[in-house]
Amino acid sequence: MERDFSTLIPPQPEILVELAKELKAEYPDQKRVAKLVKADVSLYSTVLKAVNSPYYGLAVTVTSVEKALSLLGFERVFSLIRLTVLRNTLKKTGRMERFWDSARDVAELSMTLAERLTKLDQDDSYTLGMLHDCGLPLMVQAFSEYRDFLRDCGNIEPALLAEKEFARFGFSHYQIGARMAERWFLPQHLSDAIRLQPSTEAVLNDQIETDERTRHLLAVLVLAQDISSEYRYYWRIARNEELSRLQPALSYLSIVDIDYLNMKEQILEQMGA
C-alpha cells in the first residue's frame, strides 16, 4: 500500500508564494517583485550571479533585479528564483556534492541537446536536468537507511529502482520529487516528466497520455544521462550504455544511431576541453 509522503516535502517559502501570486496577475508588479528578492540578501546575490552567467548570454552586466526583469522577463526570473530556492532547500539535507555535480552536468547537457534536437524551452530542459532526481535528497533526509539502500541497488534502471523503493518505503523518489515540484509551482509538464521517468519508454511510445513537452523533455533527459554517465560517474546508477536502451528516445527525436554517437563524441570532447 502506498504511504503518504506529504510530510516529507518542505513547505513553500513565502517568497515563492508571493511571486506565484504576481505571476498570475495580469500586470505583475516589478517593484514588488524586486523588493521581495532584495529582502533576502543571499537570494539576491545568487540571482544576480546566475543572471550574469554565460547561460543567459546577456551582452551587459546586470546589477539589479529590476534590470534582470527588464531583460529576461518576469517568468524567466521567477523560474530562476524558484530553482535557486529549491536547490538551497534541498542542499540542507546533508553532504551530497556528487549528486549536485551530476545534476549540473545533466542539466547543461539537457540544455545543449534540447537546443540541437528540439524546440523545447531551454529553461525547462535545464530545470528538469537539475531536478529530475530532486526526491532523492528528501528520501536521504527521511530514511537513515536510504543511502545504503541506494548503494545496494547498483546498476538498475529507473523502473526497477522505483519498484524497489515502493516495496521498501511505500513510494518512490520520483513520486515525491514530482509532488514537490507541483507544490513549488513548477509547470505541470515538468512535474509530470519527473514522475514519469520510470515509464519513459511507454511515454515515448505513446502508451501513456501526456503533454508533448513532457515527452520531449524525457527523451532529452535520457540522452543527457547517457552522455553524463560517460563523462563523470553517474552517482546513482551506472547506466547501461547499449544503444538499444536509448532507441525510444532516439526514435522519438528522429535521430539515427550514428548521428547520435557523433554528436555524443563531439559533446564529450567539448566537456573535456
Kindly report, residue by residue over 190-223, the tens digit of the pLDDT. 999 999 999 999 999 999 999 999 999 999 999 9
Rounded-to-10 torsion of CA 139, 142, 143, 147:
40
Could you give all domains of the chain from N- to C-terminal order, each with its CATH number? Answer: 10-92 (no CATH), 95-273 (1.10.3210.10)
Q: Which amino acid is at 236?
A: R
Among residues 107, 163, 164, 115, which one has the least CA distance to residue 132? Answer: 107
176, pLDDT greater than 70: yes
Give residue 73's region: left, alpha or beta (phi > 0; psi -120 to 50): left
233, pLDDT greater than 50: no
- Whole-number percent of the chain with pLDDT over 70: 93
Kindly report, residue by residue over 58-88, the tens digit of the pLDDT. 888 999 988 988 888 888 888 888 888 888 8
Q: What is the mean pLDDT of the chain?
A: 88
129, pLDDT greater than 60: yes
Give the integer Cα–Cα distance in Å for 112 and 55: 11
Q: What is the mean pLDDT of residues 121-137?
A: 93
Predicted local distance difference test score (pLDDT) of residue 273: 57
Contact in structure between 190 and 217 (CB atoms under 8 Å): yes
Task: State the DSSP string of 167-195.
Answer: HHHSS-HHHHHHHHHHHTT--HHHHHHHH
- List, in sequence order, every beta strand (DSSP E) within 82-213: none
Query: Which band of pLDDT confidence, cut at 50, 70 and 90, is reported for residue 169?
Result: very high
- Whole-number percent of the chain with pLDDT over 90: 49
Record the pTM. 0.88
Q: What is the mean pLDDT of residues 234-247?
A: 60
Among residues 3, 84, 6, which one has the least CA distance to residue 43? Answer: 84
Output 98 or 40, whichever has higher pLDDT.
40
Burial letters 27-66, b for 16+ CB under 10 A, else e: ebebeebbebbeebeebbebbbebbeeeeeeeeeebeebe
